[in-house]
Amino acid sequence: MEEERLREEVARLEREVASLRRKRDADRAGQRAATGSSSAQGDEAGQLATLSAPIKPIGVVRSPFPSRMGTPRQGMLAPATRGWIQLEGRLNPAEALDGIQQFSHVWIVFVFHQNTNASKAMLGDKGLKAKVRPPRLGGARVGLFSTRTPHRPNPIGLTIAKIERLERGVLHISGVDLVDGTPVLDIKPYLPRYDSLPHAAVPDWIDDEGATVREDAGKELHTGSIRSVHWTRESEEAVNRLLADGALRFYAAGEDDQLRQAIDEVLRLDPRSAFQRSLSAARGATDGHADTPAAMATFKVAFDSVEVEFAYPSHDVIRVLALRLRPPPASTENEEREIENEEDGNEGGEERQEEDERTQTTAVS
């Protein structure tokens, strides 16, 4: 009798437990239905916030541009410039690059490693601006994603270069718009059938060369206005002497014409900063005789192993005054501040990688 009563009690308890479980499961299902969408979104946001892509540089670019000042905004505007890509040994460069020499051009994915606000951008993107002022848009602002500004949430650039040759696992290129030592993330062959879009549309403020343009109250500051580069006899002799001494990394003895052409192309793009251009224009307007040698301001730009000194006898002519071995690289405080101001938006953040490109710089950044 007692045994039967215990069996009934156990059966009742089992039914009660089963009922409680069903109720619990129903409650959980209702909670998931009510909060599932927001929970999924929260999980996705959390995953994106903590996502760390396994990206590691595969090598570096070696170029004749030791600093951002003077680096072309687009490599195809300076086709005589040279450089090479040195891959890391872990990639077995000779094998990894096998076949690339059958293409004429390559895309280079790189890092804007000399961004002045890199440390700020690392701290929650607080150092980034949603809008920037391209160098020649007259101060107008546009969204950063409609430009080639190097200051991006992820400081990654894209540029194109011409393949010259593959030699012992080193890819030699021309039409370079990247600073020496630029980290390379990837190399991809250029495929005209897929990469060329002849009917692509661009805004009116982009000219045929891919650079931004503006009207500047009658002052001709557009880089395309420079028509010719004149060399003094002393500067021509310096080219021959420096090459004969083997002083340059990217140009050899007997390549006088090639070196001069590369320097001509760089100078035609006007390596002066926006501040220097404005100051020169103002000085010419006030002096009224800026074409005389005594009144000409001189400028310097580093190229390969030399320092090029030049001046503007008129707004559309450059005169190369001297070439000399450049001192150890050391930007002055004023120069660094000037570069930083331009990149942070005072005259735009795209003086070197503007609408090319690389588009590193263009450089497509």
User: Are 257 and 185 members of one domain?
Assistant: no
User: Are 171 and 72 members of one domain?
Assistant: yes
DSSP-derived 3-state class of residue 329: coil
The pLDDT value recorded for residue 160 is 96
The pLDDT value recorded for residue 175 is 97
**Closest Cα to residue 267, out of 210, 218, 309?**
309
User: Are 276 and 170 members of one domain?
Assistant: no
What residues does 310 pair with on adjacent strands?
Answer: 299, 320
Q: From the DSSP assignment, how many helices (H) and strands (E) are in the chain?
A: 8, 12
Q: What are phi and psi of 354, to 5 degrees?
A: -80, 125
Q: Is residue 281 part of a domain?
A: yes
The pLDDT value recorded for residue 54 is 75
159-173, 273-287, 295-309: which is most confident: 159-173
Res 110 pLDDT > 50: yes
User: Are 306 and 179 members of one domain?
Assistant: no
Q: Is residue 30 part of a domain?
A: no
User: Are 189 and 243 members of one domain?
Assistant: no
353 in Cβ contact with 152 (< 8 Å)? no
Burial class of 21 by CB neighbour count within 10 A (0 to 12, 13 to 18, 19+): exposed
Per cent of the chain over pLDDT 90 is: 44
Rounded Cα–Cα distance for residues 299 and 308 (Å): 8
Write down the mean pLDDT value for the chain. Answer: 78
In this structure, of 119-123, 172-176, 269-273, the range with the lowest mean pLDDT score is 119-123
Q: DSSP readout, 171-199?
A: EEEES--S-TT-EEEEEEE--HHHH--TT
**Closest Cα to residue 344, out of 144, 74, 111, 183?**
144
Q: What is the pLDDT of residues 324-363, one digit of tens each?
A: 998 865 554 444 444 444 444 333 333 343 433 333 333 3
Q: Flag whether the pTM goes above 0.75.
A: no
Q: Is residue 11 part of a domain?
A: no
Q: Is residue 232 part of a domain?
A: yes
User: Are 180 and 248 members of one domain?
Assistant: no
The DSSP code for 234 is H
Q: Is residue 7 part of a domain?
A: no
User: Are 189 and 219 members of one domain?
Assistant: no
Rounded Cα–Cα distance for residues 76 and 245 (Å): 29
CA 123 remoteness from chain centre = 21
Cβ neighbors of 283 (< 8 A, separation 6 or more) are 290, 295, 297
Domain enclosing residue 304, as ranges: 212-325
| pLDDT range class, residue 49, cuts 50, 70, 90 | low
Domain count, the chain: 2
- Of residues 129 and 112, more confidence is placed in 112
Q: Is residue 282 part of a domain?
A: yes
Res 292 pLDDT > 60: no
Q: What is the pLDDT of residues 220-254, one digit of tens each?
A: 334 456 779 999 999 999 999 999 999 999 999 99
Which CATH number does the domain housing residue 89 bear? 2.40.30.70
Q: Is residue 183 part of a domain?
A: yes
Q: Is residue 147 part of a domain?
A: no
**Closest Cα to residue 179, out of 65, 272, 86?**
65
111 in Cβ contact with 57 (< 8 Å)? yes
